Chains A and B, each alone.
Chain A
């Protein structure tokens, strides 16, 4: 297959208005200070560096329609992640949003999320966000315990969060996510459940609950940590769904819980393989059947952001095999699972012809289940999902 040509088996997901949905991810690689567990592309930076970066972002945004011919695309979601995007001055965020709207066509109900950290969010900023069309906030609380926040190396207290949360509500944000991390060093099962309840009582529309992963190269990887044992972690994870269920949240993905109608569309797009463009330093894209990402070198990014072609890295043309694998290991993260019918529509072969043996093996072990047209994890299976998902990678000759 020649580079850049979409394979024939790929069917575009075409909405009623004839436009192909597109998601945008904007990366803001700045934070006040690096957290002890963080291995994302982010670092503290002064005002000047931030301004230079925003200018570069704007250059990239302006160049994209010319680069890709996006007339038939409709932006259905934007996610501004980091780092700490809320570290940017409110007017800068507005500039970014304005530029996006100027150069891309937005669906009327597009979901536009900004990640924000308590301690970096004042009413003025929130007001500007509202005026920029941002309609969803993702607040990085991580823990409702000040002790745990210190362990994690966060810059804020739970009190700071409550203030940010109240301000956001008062400024009219009706769709808020709160991030929590379980299995923090020193955390007991009871501590975790208390964190969950504290947040659930507040009633955000969405809660993301990640287990702490000790990533190589982070300060945590160098330290001896008092981590909860596997059984405790198991119970923490198992009971998260039940506790949040009491408050009307439903688990829709491995780490995500939402009230009815508030599942994050942007993230769901990742799992369903909706195409997206990543804008900013190191940002990853899935576009026209290819995966690639921007340079992770800030100097290079600042120099080349206006010519995206020059700073794309690890360009990978996905084969049908790649796409089938992604369809499975991404799709199975969602509690609804993966559809056999859609698989066949997209790939012109039956899911059971490709994956019959794996599916049956795990069904027999009680880790996967078939409900109607959909395969999904059982409750038992979701706890050990990683090993199962790895089995959906196909053998290469």
Chain B
């Protein structure tokens, strides 16, 4: 009890608070550094320490990425003898989640920029630094992975100075992995990241930077108090949604748990609960204020996140439709950017059209549905939102290729475009330019970072990026290219719908929209890919690609000839049955379309058409 009072007294002194995040290109060691900071400040003993404390989900840990924002409060005793409160806010590291990154940054006063001592600046390093600078954050560069044989910290420091224009000569040179020089980072946080400057006596003004749903407490709102104070009993209002509720609990973030406290005041980072049932009432980016004494205006920057990529999600077993709906509902509680609505497919039955921030977001939701909710899913080819201008003047926003009107009713179509920045070493510039040309890219320019590296700028159709572009980029640059992009409007384009016929039946879930110039090529590759994916069955199966009634490509899956379980196993019928069950299970993972069993992953074939 005394400890708690002691702490509360301390944290009200804003000069001892540091709110910061860590930004980095993927794999540059963001989460490892976060772990090390938590460990060094003694929040957890080394034995309690599980690698990457902040990445809570199994999925995050496995993929080495952060999906949801996370926050943790730690106490650091600095060399000046004072104790400081650090609020570390971990941000998602992928372009799909840029909006969440942006909100997390808004909750901070400074950012640690982690750059890999061997790889140097990458596309997302730049994108994240610009985001941080946009939010007026002080950026503290840290050179990580100095233990690597190929590390060249001085080169990277020069690069940071030349390319970003940040003073970096005294940047800590560390190895988050071994813990070497991590103390330097902690000291610099104290010295270089400014303390918050809110007015605790002003009306409450707090930024929501994330929220999670808890089945007991309802929505737990993560917020940064800019001005004022909030405690149990305060009636708060969300300024964008207008939602009002009485606060039940406030607190701050321990490692992996919530620690209640009496009050949150200006400068602090913490959480509040108010028996809120729906995450949509507490949108990330919204401003929380005191309903009885509201602040004059909301914090800038709340915007509704729009899904960019859509696909159909269907239960592999039609009977699980209800389970899928419940699971989506639950996921949406924690992820307001997930969109879904029911749809039906001739091939796949009842399912949902779902909208995502990007392909990674799609994959993550898909994996979480499969793992956390134990669902077997069929995912259809992702699609962007096309604008279809009909001859009757109507404009349709098309998210499902199947719904494309008859060509005779279409005046013209538009597709979403992005501006992409690709960081690449000079030896691969040719290969990457070729890739961008193939994907209908318009060259916008190129900046040399240093002699060996360049930043390529292209304007590209989003639909060329969501299909395997990232994989192609990696494979054509031996893993060295990195990508960042942002949406930049719509452009008129010659688009056609490519239909796939399996055993002479059109499979609606395999249709996709493609540029007229690449339709033949894509159709051919799609047939080839499906030929690989569809196992041989008891009869021959033609696979055809068609535009309208015109067949443009064909492959054939030959009939299976022999499949006999010869042995007797000395009366061990159970064993025999197990083999049959396995076979039956295999069939279950396929979708019956007409007489043909199509494996679930075949519906994603369109994503893997790059053959280089």
Contacts and interface: CB of A to CB of B under 8 A. Distances in A.
Interface string B461-498: 00000000000000000000000000000000000000
A310 interface: no
Contact of B561 (A40, A231, A325): A231
A391 B537 CA distance: 13
Contact of B584 (A79, A286, A384, A390): A390
A333 B348 CA distance: 34
B561 to A, nearest CB: 4
B565 interface: yes
B9 interface: no
Interface in B559-595: 560-568, 570-574, 576-577, 579-581, 583-584, 587, 595
A393 B560 CA distance: 21
A386 B564 contact: yes
A250 interface: no
Contacts of B538: 365, 367, 384, 387-388
A389 B580 contact: yes
Contacts of B574: 284, 291, 293, 314, 316
A27 B573 CA distance: 15
A63 B1 CA distance: 71
B197 to A, nearest CB: 63
A266 B52 CA distance: 61
B564 A382 contact: yes
Nearest to A208: B568
A211 B577 CA distance: 19
B593 to A, nearest CB: 15
A383 B563 contact: yes
A81 B573 contact: no
Contacts of B562: 211, 230, 233-234, 237, 383-384
B148 to A, nearest CB: 37
B577 A329 contact: yes
Contacts of A257: none
Interface in A198-231: 210-211, 213, 230-231
Given A326-B573, A387-B538, A254 B564 contact: yes
B243 interface: no
A188 interface: no
A383 B564 contact: yes
A25 B580 contact: no
A278 B573 CA distance: 12
Interface in B119-137: none
Which of B562, B573, B579 has the largest count of A CB atoms less than 10 A from its CB? B562
Interface in A316-365: 316, 325-326, 329-330, 365
Contacts of A383: 561-564
Nearest to B580: A390
A309 to B, nearest CB: 19
A373 B566 CA distance: 26
27 contacts: A40-B570, A210-B566, A211-B564, A211-B566, A230-B561, A233-B562, A255-B567, A270-B573, A276-B571, A285-B571, A293-B572, A325-B577, A329-B580, A365-B538, A365-B595, A383-B563, A383-B564, A384-B562, A385-B563, A386-B565, A386-B583, A387-B560, A387-B583, A390-B580, A390-B583, A393-B580, A393-B584
Interface of B: 537-539, 560-568, 570-574, 576-577, 579-581, 583-584, 587, 595
Interface of A: 25, 27, 40, 79, 81, 210-211, 213, 230-231, 233-234, 237, 254-255, 267, 270, 276, 278, 283-286, 291, 293, 314, 316, 325-326, 329-330, 365, 367, 382-391, 393
